[in-house]
Structure 1
């Protein structure tokens, strides 16, 4: 039986520590860090639950319960497919984009699609209109922050702040890579996959603050309803929960099987994680002192992407090997 380790980690390391990977750095794990990736999936041992819609290689997903749109990024050729959540089997609106989308996020009545290979964040309306925000470097993830857009720029090791299409400030320092930015409660956090750590970001001040280790190979993150950031540790096989005020590691829950993708259902307080080593998706109730498994379903092969419709509770899983988009009603 898996047991959560309640943690109140106080080991904070200044973002001003050496960013070369040398010297006295408590966040540094190995001399030459390599970002963790999804475990390769075996041939599925069971048919996927629910229904499966045909699709190419899925690289990212996001569901907007307000507009009732499911956005699915595919890579051959690069596009974002806009499905109706009320009728996902209907033909989607296809929006061609400049390159492969790594992350999708909902930003009001628009979607933000991060395209690191082209130095661009595409802003897509739910009707399919596109505008492009050029970003110097490799924008790995973007979120809305009121009237501003926060962009994690991987190679520049920074979080850029844009307003009205213009770069107004950039927060940097102490990062090896900036791979995802998450706003939770009163805090903004950037995930650094190379350093396998999370850092607080002072958006208004334009600085990266102190950091905490996030397991042995952090890959993805999402905010929950309790002012925390949930992180998948793919190498360590765990689900981590960090509070932002104070900035502490609160929970470390073992999740074997290649934990990777993550989505959060705020209406039901469920964190959905994919297990790419098992071709499964698991729903955890995260309201208490430790996650409690509520659901477990077999998935399509290589389930790297997951999102959830908070209105209905339906879970959508995307196959990175082109085996479709899975629709599950728990």
Structure 2
């Protein structure tokens, strides 16, 4: 694991405003509450709505029918996967095709909309929560649908095992021969995404606005930390950290995975939401939906340093980056297509 130049918290004033507190996990299927929960019936934060665009988007815009709900890039050949609605499908673009004026993607039809896309080896993992299905899509466009009970919402891999966050079952399932067995639960109100940082799985609970460790071997949800007032998305970097967007408070939070500690809190105005990490340059890309912008932060030091800022298509809920070429792709959730930016 590479060590950043300086991995520390920001000022004590910012930490006091973070509203990040340790949360204890508990067993059972009941709704979880704690003394720091500010409302009795919490709701998950959603992206801030975007105004009409007044500035031309940077780079090239490729029109699509339907709204973009998720993006990811295969680190090997640079294939870009785009999840689109109306109808639900995933579009696969070759790395070189995005430089063409009217690229022709491979189209993979799906039974329902997708919230997250993850690349695992030569496959794109596309959970379909509404249909209790995991779509395993090869980079050539072949698809295999795997039934998964519990409303799968996100996917990750660790030690050749596929992990699925299961929103309805409030836990993380280990996919084995088409079954999510076991399901690791306890202490969660919702399981909305799962990532792996430095070999440690972590699950995001949007209802509780918190991040929790997951012990696969011990089959236990471990320690958790409150992630602001409205955590929405998370992504891991190469330093063993997990970045979380706190959309309600307007901040990007960085946690170390083991031990789970808040390391950075950086206020960002404009409706932070989607994120992508460029491992080749240590740049974290963050979309600002209330401003129709995407910002690139250098995250090698003690706090993010802004390096790039570009106008985007309307409602830029999703973003991905090709770590080989640095090319950024932003997706519009309101039907304005995808935007290709070369910093």
Question: Taking structure 1 as the reference length, what is the TM-score of the superposition?
Answer: 0.95
CA distance in 1, matches of 2:11, 2:211: 19
CA distance in 2, matches of 1:151, 1:32: 25
Q: Look up the match of 2:145.
A: 132
Aligned residues: 326
**2:157/2:196 contact within 8 Å kept:** no
Q: Compute the displacement of 1:11 (Å).
A: 4.2
* Match runs of 1:34-183 below 5 Å: 34-55=43-64, 56-88=66-98, 89=100, 90-183=103-196
CA distance in 1, matches of 2:96, 2:35: 49
Q: Compute the displacement of 1:114 (Å).
A: 1.1
C-alpha spacing 1:113/1:142, structure 2 compared with 1 (3 Å): same
Q: Compute the displacement of 1:299 (Å).
A: 0.1
Q: Look up the match of 1:261.
A: 274
CA distance in 2, matches of 1:147, 1:168: 15
Root-mean-square deviation over aligned CA pairs: 1.8
Residue among 295, 302, 317 paired with 2:308 = 295
Q: Stretches of 4+ moved more than 6 A in 1? A: none
**2:161/2:175 contact within 8 Å kept:** yes
Please give the secondary structure, in 1, of the residue aligned with 2:23. Answer: coil
Please give the secondary structure, in 1, of the residue aligned with 2:306. Answer: strand
Q: Compute the displacement of 1:21 (Å).
A: 4.4
**1:21/1:31 contact within 8 Å kept:** no
CA distance in 1, matches of 2:238, 2:163: 20
Residue among 21, 24, 31 paired with 1:20 = 31
**1:12/1:212 contact within 8 Å kept:** yes
Q: Compute the displacement of 1:20 (Å).
A: 2.8
The question of 1:271 aligning with 2:284 is answered yes
CA distance in 2, matches of 1:156, 1:21: 13
The question of 1:195 aligning with 2:225 is answered no
C-alpha spacing 1:5/1:315, structure 2 compared with 1 (3 Å): farther
Q: Look up the match of 1:208.
A: 221
**2:148/2:178 contact within 8 Å kept:** no
Q: Compute the displacement of 1:196 (Å).
A: 0.2
Q: Look up the match of 1:219.
A: 232
Structure 1 gaps of 5+ residues are: none
CA distance in 1, matches of 2:70, 2:32: 30
CA distance in 2, matches of 1:139, 1:234: 22
Please give the secondary structure, in 2, of the residue aligned with 1:304. Answer: strand
**1:29/1:195 contact within 8 Å kept:** no
Question: Taking structure 2 as the reference length, what is the TM-score of the superposition?
Answer: 0.91
Residue among 326, 333, 339 paired with 1:320 = 333
CA distance in 2, matches of 1:4, 1:209: 26
Please give the secondary structure, in 2, of the residue aligned with 1:143. Answer: strand
CA distance in 1, matches of 2:150, 2:36: 25
C-alpha spacing 1:96/1:207, structure 2 compared with 1 (3 Å): same
Please give the secondary structure, in 2, of the residue aligned with 1:87. Answer: helix
